[in-house]
Structures are given as structure tokens and as C-alpha cells.
Chain A
């Protein structure tokens, strides 16, 4: 079954709605929450991976949008511009899943399977060498 990643932004008044429950129950979608920051009264954000049939995706996204949630396809690829990179290693300090690491010689290793496309490295890189594509 196809799998897609979505970047969900919750306006403050919608931040506490249990929408994941609806996605499972009403749309047969299998959710996998990769990253979430939801606090009452504040704008929330969730990186959500969904597995399901194509028509269920469309209906599920339409439901989320009707609930006032901004839905964007999440990044599917991450690229490192090796000419711009100076191998400082600062991206490894903010990579919580441990996808970006340094070996003993200071070379940068990237384990794509561990990446959750949270964009922390994109923002942290002082050379702006990391970019995401959608």
C-alpha cells in the first residue's frame, strides 16, 4: 500500500483535536507520528506518515483541511551540497534521530532510514548546505 508523509500545522484553536483517531477509524489510514509538538493554545505541528489506499488519502486530507488544519506534503528527499559543506558537524548536534553523525575522522555520515525530515539540520547548517525537496 502507498505510504505518504504529511506536514500538518494546527492553528491554536485546533491543536487539541484528536484527528489521528478519525484518520484510523473513518478513513482506514495507518498513522505513524514521526514528530509532533502540540500544546494547548499554541500553534501545533505534526510530521505524520500515513499508509493507505489512494482514495482514503484524499478523503483523509480533505477531512483534516475541513478541520482547519494546514496539510502539506512533507519532504521526501534531503540533499547535502558537499561543495558548500565545511564538515563543521553542527548538524549532528541537532539531529535527534541520529541520522547525521560524524565518524572518528570527522567525516559526515547520513543514514537516510533514520531521517524523519524534521528540518532541524536545514535550519542549523551555517553554510545552508542542507536542502529538502518535496
Chain B
């Protein structure tokens, strides 16, 4: 029995919509069957909370008197981009501090702004007739800024790699410390709660979808960078490795430190845990079937990070249920596992989004434009060329 977006939104507006998290939906489907679950439930909420390096914020400071066209800009000694209009900037989460290095980066600046702290803004300029000031040194808070919004070019990766290391020394990576001689395996996905694993072919998730971003209601702005719908898929149509991604936008002033946390990966760099949640309408039994998948049905591919090349060798596949058990097996060897994406936070996000829809009656927005579909594009490598070769 199919439902339309309008019917679901009418039920949300009337306060009658049945909204459950992806984990709760799987339990309902297991107990009552997929057709009954699809009929009874209107919306399924998802959530994920992992490090997402391609994140940052657009800020507008307002004009000083006399005004300055900010060239070199730092916030708490972390460089922000000075290549836009006079007092606009973009601060990326991975930018390290000039003095504290990766222990304090762009992500920490954003977390400090979110927690209401004053942040030291310094900028220099060559000075122009319309912007005569050549330097500024002041303090700003989030409330002082005209605009402050996340623009995260790549969030909510649809599945990810499991990292192991066959080499003989520890590796410091964006997936944490990977111990030598297959000493551990780290992974980074919310599994059954992950937004894009629940709608694997992007039927309901697209440009313009209203979503949860770091505690604020935001939107999907575009496909994320390195969006790769052509990743290998399993019998459910779900990718078995890194695939789709989302570019998202949301107001920093409505976000919360509960759902945005700066991170430092020793020997690698600064990043930020970003909380993303996407609501999915239960339009028909086809989407209900993927919403009902559990960690035991979803697989990830193990890659050997001991081989430091673009294409790392694969050592097979494991399910998220195996990864969550704390131990996997490769060639008969038992390997302890550890996650990087927080399961309790993912659950908290899915519950919060459920509350927004069921209690605050936030309606779902139908995508204005679909994300690139499987078969439409892959990810191209970067070739190293000389001028003579072009």
C-alpha cells in the first residue's frame, strides 16, 4: 500500500503521524512483517555522529569603523579563508592552530563559538580607498555575527571502510591508531541508523531535504564531494564501501555542542564530529525493505591501510553486527574492533529528529532535485601530469 508525501505531511500536521527510528522500525518489521510495518509507520528517522573532515562554517563579522577588507584572517590563531568579500570568511574544521597545531583547530573554534565563548579575531589588509584599515584585533561571539552557518561539503558518508594494518608499525590515521600486524580494526558508520544506508538509492533524500545538522534544522544543499553512487552494492542494493555523500547547510546559531564536537587524531590532524539525521518517509514496501535492514544485513569492506597507496587491498567483508561484537576474524586471526562513530549519539539524534516530527510537527520536504543516481557517475582519480603532457 503506497503513501504519498502529501498524505504523510498531512498526518504530521495533524499530529497523527507514526514516527519511529530505523532501529525501532526494524523491530516492528521483524515482528509484524514488512507490509504491515510499511502501512502503519509514516516516517523513519536516522542518525549518525562521526568525524566529518569536510565541514566548516561561513561567517560574516560586520564592518568596523573605519572598515577593513580582511585579507589574512585568524580566529584564536586558526587561519580562516580571506578570499571572499571584505568581512566574509570560511573556517574549515581541519585547519590547525598556528601555535597549538592540531590540538586546537578550526573545529575547536566552531565549538567555542557554539558554547558562547568569545573568540579572538585578527586580520590584516593592504588597505584600499574604500577599506582604509590595515589591521584589526578584536573579540567576537556567535551572537555578534551577522550570519554564521555550516556549509559542510561532505557529510554522512554512505558506508565506510574498515581499517586494518598488515605493516609492522602503528599508523596514525583519520580512522584512529591502527595497530601493526592486524592488531585491531577500526570502523566508522552508524550502520543500521546511518541515513544513506536506509535509502540506498536516494529515492527520498535529495537536494532540498530538510534534515538535522548538529542540532539545527538544516538542508541538503547538494550532492557531497566524492559522491560515488557507483560503488559496488549488495543484494539489497546497499553499497559495501564508501559511496554517496551529502553537502549540508544549517544555521550555527541554532546548533548545539551536544551534536558538534571538535576532534584531534594524534599524528593525523583536527576534525569534527558532526551529528546528521535524515527523516525518511515510508512511501511503500520497497523502501520499507531497506529501512528494515539491521546491522546483521549491512556489510563493510576491510582495507589494509598498511599499503599506503590510493587503492588499498581489500581483505574481505564483514557485517556491522560482527564489527559491533568487538571482534572480527581475518584468515583465522581474531582481531579486536573499535568504532569511531558514536552509537549512543546516533540514537540520540534519531530520537531527537523523531521528536521534531512527531511533537513539533516538522514536515518533510520532498527533494527539489535528486542526488546523482547509481550508474550516473563515479569518482575520478587525480593524475599527476607535467605541462608537456597536457
Binding site for B on A (CB under 8 A): 86-94, 96, 98, 101-102, 104-107, 120, 123-124, 126-128
**Cross-chain contact B264 with A89 (CB below 8 angstroms):** no
Identify which of B185, B265, B271, B343 contacts A89 (C-beta below 8 A): B343
Is B167 at the interface (CB under 8 A from chain A)? no
Interchain CB contact under 8 A, B339 and A89? yes
B177 & A88 in contact (Cβ 8 Å cutoff): no
B184-A101 in contact (CB<8A)? no
Shortest C-beta distance, B15 to chain A (Å), equals: 30
- Contact partners of A89 in chain B: CB under 8 A: 338-340, 342-343
**By the criterion CB–CB under 8 Å, are B273 and A86 in contact?**
yes
| A-B CB contact pairs (8 Å), 27 listed | A86-B49, A87-B343, A87-B345, A88-B49, A88-B340, A88-B341, A89-B339, A89-B340, A89-B342, A90-B176, A90-B340, A93-B176, A93-B185, A93-B186, A93-B338, A94-B177, A96-B183, A101-B326, A104-B324, A106-B339, A106-B343, A106-B344, A106-B347, A126-B176, A127-B262, A127-B263, A128-B103
A83 to chain B, nearest CB (A): 10
* Contact status A92-B338, CB under 8 Å: yes
**B339 touching A124, Cβ below 8 Å:** no
Contacts of A102 in B (CB 8 A): 326, 339, 343
State the CA gap A91–B342 with chains docked (Å): 12
**A94 and B184 contacting across the interface, CB-CB below 8 Å:** yes
Per the CB 8 Å criterion, the residue count for chain B at the interface is 32
Q: Report yes or no: B341 in contact with A124, Cβ–Cβ below 8 A.
A: no
For B265, list chain A residues within 8 Å (CB): 126
Across the interface, do A86 and B261 meet the contact criterion of CB distance under 8 Å? yes
A36 to B273 CA separation, bound complex (whole angstroms): 34
Given A86-B273, A124-B177, A126-B263, 4 other A-B contacts at CB below 8 A?
A: A86-B342, A92-B338, A126-B265, A127-B261
Say yes or no: A105 contacts B343, CB within 8 Å: yes
- Whether B345 contacts A86 by the Cβ 8 Å rule is yes
Instruction: Choose one: A90, A91, A94, A104; the contact of B179 (CB below 8 Å).
Output: A94
- Identity of the chain A residue whose Cβ is nearest the Cβ of B183 in the assembled complex: A96
8 A Cβ contacts from B299-356 to A: 324, 326, 336-345, 347
Say yes or no: is B4 at the interface (Cβ < 8 Å to chain A).
no
A87, A94, A123: the one contacting B344 at CB < 8 Å is A87
- Cβ distance B337 to chain A, nearest Cβ, rounded Å: 7
The reply to whether the CB of B51 lies closer than 8 angstroms to some CB of chain A is yes
Residues of A contacting B324 in the complex (Cβ-Cβ under 8 angstroms): 104
Residue pair B263, A91 in contact (C-beta under 8 Å)? no
**Nearest-CB residue, chain B, relative to A120:** B177
Query: In the complex, A71→B341 CA distance in Å?
Result: 38
Which residues in A have their C-beta under 8 angstroms from that of B179? 94, 96
- Could you tell me the distance between the alpha carbons of A128 and B185 in the complex, rounded to whole angstroms? 21
Complex Cα distance, B338 from A89, in Å, reads 6
Check A90 against B49 for contact (C-beta < 8 Å).
no
Determine whether B266 belongs to the interface, using a CB cutoff of 8 Å to chain A: yes
CB-CB < 8 A to A126: which residues of B? 51, 176, 263-265, 271, 273, 340
The docked-state distance in angstroms from the alpha carbon of A12 to that of B49 is: 43
The 7 closest A-B pairs by CB, nearest first: A93-B338, A106-B343, A126-B263, A89-B339, A92-B338, A87-B344, A106-B344
